[in-house]
Amino acid sequence: MIWVVLVLLVVGAITTVLGQISGHAPDLATRIVWAIVPFAVITFRAISLDRATVSDIFLMVIAVFLWGTSMLYSDDEMRLTYEFVPIIQIIVVVPAVALLTLHQWWSRKFRRQ
């Protein structure tokens, strides 16, 4: 199941980069870096996480969310999607990583006893 998560994250990251490139703003490099941050953080956490059914399902949901929101880039008049989509992704990924870390810590603590 981890391979499906990683494939979704890679496809989402590629879609995000292509979506950011299609925008017409002078700060392309900065936008691409901030757009890739949620994918990099959740990928690192997925690789370093202990395997459990709950964490795998949660990672799948987060990967599908990131992939889905990476397809929201549109050439709107104010170019707001190029800034807000990565912000929404980061707002979802940070608590998700915290929950995964807490779940891993909690399950290790009770496994020892």
pLDDT one-digit tens code per residue, 65-104: 999 988 887 766 666 777 888 889 999 999 999 999 898 8
- Please give the residue range of the domain that contains residue 91: 2-112
Tokens of 64: 């599908």
What are the backbone dihedrals phi and psi of residue 74, each rounded to the nearest 5 degrees, phi first? Answer: -140, 160
Give residue 29's pLDDT.
84
pLDDT one-digit tens code per residue, 11-44: 999 988 888 887 766 688 888 888 899 999 999 8
**b/e string for 44-53 if b means 16 or more Cβ within 10 A?**
ebbeebeeee
> Given a cut of 90, is residue 61 above it in pLDDT?
yes
Q: Which residues contact 77 (CB under 8 A, 6 or more apart)?
A: none
Specify the number of domains making up the chain. 1
Give residue 78's pLDDT.
67
